[in-house]
Structure 1
Amino acid sequence: MKVGIFDHLDRNERPLHAFYEERLRLVEAYDRGGFYAYHTAEHHATPLGLAASPSVFLAAVAQRTQRLRFGPLVYTLPLHHPLRLVEEICMLDQLSRGRFELGVGRGISPIETAYYGINPDHRQKMYLEALQILRQALTQRTLTFHGEFYRYADVPMELEPLQKPHPPFWAGAGTPDGAEAAGRNGFNLVANALTSEIRAMTDRYPGRQRPDLRDSRDDRPLPRGVQGHAHSHAGPGSLRDHGRDRRRGADHRTPRLPALAPPLPSSLSHARHQPGRWGPAAAV
């Protein structure tokens, strides 16, 4: 079993410059402790997540770690220009010598999308178009695409990822239909659901029934692991308190999984970290 970390970077009382530095020191400890991967959420205009530009924060992660794999969970594709994003992905994969994990999605909050002047009803179509663009641009020398929202004609792709044909894709899902769609795309899956609902999702994850389906990167069998997350308590307060904090400025829900997490390696006890009310989530 591989253990990773899913981190919202929730706001705490520390000044922002200290908050980011302390979080990076914690990520260094994850690297020393042998964790498999570190993922960050993308949120905007809410204290729920302060990695509003995942690529900026993850560029620092790339330089502060040696073995830890990392990536966004997820890039909110409707809020990113696809051409700019594919260049950032290539740079992060090269800077980390092939440790980048690429999470993509349409975004959970219509309010955050609307702040950017984007009609939330267009999120799914924009996501699907942007995903097609990423898959083409990461594997070809020129980009040509004609869609409803994005259009490109013979754009030279000067940058390329280190991992071939592209970094591993990740998708988040909260329903069996979402799990099935992720698997058929050859994506790793992050399950955001009650523990009682996870089995229904894994049963629909195609790798369980279709051993002939292959990972789109390197023809390996489709990944069968499902990653869930649980919040670990890092200070006084209750789930109800945390729910109020999360809802400030956005329509986010309270955590849906119990506060369970595996013990951290002893090397993490030396990390200089001042967590907020809730720390990063441990994911397995």
Structure 2
Amino acid sequence: MDFGAFILAQQRGYHQSSHQVIANSVEQTVLAEQAGFSNAWYAEHHFNNYSLSPSPLMMVAHCAGKTSTIRLGSAVCILPLYHAPRFLAEVGLVDSLSGGRLELGIGSGYQQFEFERFNTSLEESGKIFEEYLDVIPNALGQKIFEHHSDYLDIPPSSIATRPLQEPMPPVWITTGNPKLRERAFRDGHNLFVTALLNGTDAIGDLRGKIDEARDGAGVDGSNTRIGFLRCGYASDNDAEIDSYLENALFQRRLSFSLKARTQQTDDGYLMKEVPTDSDPTLESLRANLPVGNVNRVIERLIEEIEILRPDHIALQTQLGDFDQKTMLKQMELWGETIIPAVQKAVGGKTATLSAAE
């Protein structure tokens, strides 16, 4: 059972410069390693303030030079937006540059706004993504590979800079498609899942979907790690907790508007934060999430782990305009107190439980 920092790199307003947002991402990575987090994860989004990280592989390459032990991952590379040969070559290079610390998170994407600007079809993204699942192990695991399909056509080629990890970096798949989850289990890839800002009932439903995918794949699941993306915050200061939750709500509002294609902007870039009828209250978020004093956060995390049985938890550390110095102190608190307490309580049983039944 280990913990990562999920770094979304959001800009809530022009009071945050883009340069500072990215600098904060790097600073959080360095602090995450020092605090004892096992991973740092970088998002990929384009052309607006929902996330300022257009290339998680570039973030990994840069932060590899700032760190030495922490594993660095893409969460996720939106594969239909890539040119396949370049993507494959860059994965090999980045794994080499990072000293074999790359965790390769991949997904098919969901924001029409991005797909339009890459002249790519969101409706066909799932099919494109499946073809990538075919070509990635062949390209990274063989000296010479070729691939011919509906969307990807690659003549005999070789990745010049091979991944340092053999045969390739661990792959993490983020998807809501049950069939793709089944394939992840069959292929021995890892799964990244989230219950968004919902509580234990949603986590239980999520575990049920994971079990269905594992059973549908006809495997015991022992080769697949489950990663859980989660918001959480520990403090005795209610104002700090409210600020974190307000920024989590900001993230939700922008994400939902992009998915529903209802985003609004006055200048073509900075999206408006528009409340909706489905917005949770701060009170419901406090009830749903591992937030509160340290003991409450530890107890709630243990409860959620017992339900979902993940192998990895990725904590959302860079949401909206939450104060950077305060978040760095929060990450230190997790490293010093929360992570050790949770690991002591759950021990090594989560990996066993995730493949149980």
Equivalent in the alignment of 1:76: 78
Conserved 8 A contact 1:42-1:49: yes
Aligned to 1:183: 185
Alignment of 1:65-144 (within 5 A): 65-144=67-146
Residue among 26, 39, 45 paired with 2:41: 39
Distance in 2 (alpha carbons) for counterparts of 1:199 and 1:236: 26
In structure 1, runs of 5+ residues without a counterpart are 214-220, 265-272
SS where residue 208 of structure 2 aligns?
Answer: helix
State the identity %.
25
> 1:56 corresponds to which residue?
58
1:228 partnered with 2:229: yes
Please state which structure has a larger fraction of its residues in helix.
2
CA contact (8 A) 2:6 2:318 kept: no
Alignment partner of 1:203 is 2:216: no
The answer as to whether partners of 2:99 and 2:164 remain within 8 angstroms in 1 is yes
Post-superposition offset of 1:243: 3.8
Spell out, residue by residue over 1:140-183, the C-alpha distance to the aligned partner (whole angstroms, 9 max, x if none): 12231111122121223212100001000001134655533321
Amino acid at match of 1:203: D
Structure 1 residues 34 and 209: CA distance shift in structure 2, 3 A: farther
2: CA distance, partners of 1:27 / 1:247: 27
User: Larger Cα Rg: Structure 1 or Structure 2?
Assistant: 2
**Normalising to structure 1: TM-score of the pair?**
0.80
Residue 355 (structure 2) aligns with: none
When residues 164 and 236 of structure 1 are mapped into structure 2, their CA distance, relative to the original with a 3 A threshold, is: closer
Contact 1:42 1:52 in 2 (8 A): yes
What is the identity, as a one-letter code, of the residue corresponding to 1:223?
Answer: T
C-alpha distance in 2 between matches for 1:175 and 1:132: 17
Instruction: Report the residue type matching 1:196 in the other structure.
Output: G
Contact 2:42–2:59, Cα closer than 8 Å, also in 1:
no
Deviations 1:7-38 (A, max 9, x none): 22111432122221222111100001111111
CA contact (8 A) 2:251 2:320 kept: no
C-alpha distance 86-224 of structure 1, shift in aligned 2 (>3 A) = closer
- Confirm or deny that 1:276 pairs with 2:320: yes
Maintained 8 Å contact 2:43/2:74:
yes
Gaps of 5+ in 2: 196-201, 234-240, 262-277, 298-316, 343-357
- Taking the aligned partners of 1:78 and 1:274, their CA distance within structure 2 comes to 26
Q: Is the CA contact (8 Å cut-off) linking 1:11 and 1:47 kept in structure 2?
A: yes
Q: CA deviation at 1:199?
A: 2.2
Counterpart in 2 of 1:7? 7
Rounded to whole Å, the distance in 2 between the matches of 1:249 and 1:224 is 29
Shift of 1:89: 0.8
Cα deviation digits, residues 42-78 of structure 1 (max 9, x gap): 1112322111122222211111111110111111111
| Corresponding residue to 2:290 among 257, 260, 264 | 260
Contact 1:102 1:168 in 2 (8 A): yes
When residues 121 and 72 of structure 1 are mapped into structure 2, their CA distance, relative to the original with a 3 A threshold, is: same
Task: Tell me: CA distance 1:110–1:275, structure 2 relative to 1, closer, same or farther (3 Å).
Answer: closer
Partner Cα separation in structure 1 for residue 256 and residue 175 of structure 2: 21
User: Which one is further off, 197-206 or 110-119?
Assistant: 197-206
**1:260–1:175 CA distance, 2 compared to 1 (3 A):** farther
The equivalent of 1:26 in structure 2 is 28
Q: Give SS of 2:72's match.
A: strand
Residue 224 of structure 1: how far off its partner (Å): 4.6
Contact 1:111 1:251 in 2 (8 A): no
- The residue identity in structure 1 corresponding to 2:210 is T
CA 1:242–1:88 in 2, change beyond 3 Å: closer, same or farther? closer
For residue 201 of structure 1, report the CA deviation from its aligned partner.
2.6
The alignment's TM-score, normalised by the length of structure 2, stands at 0.65
Aligned to 2:307: none
Q: Secondary structure at the match of 2:231?
A: strand
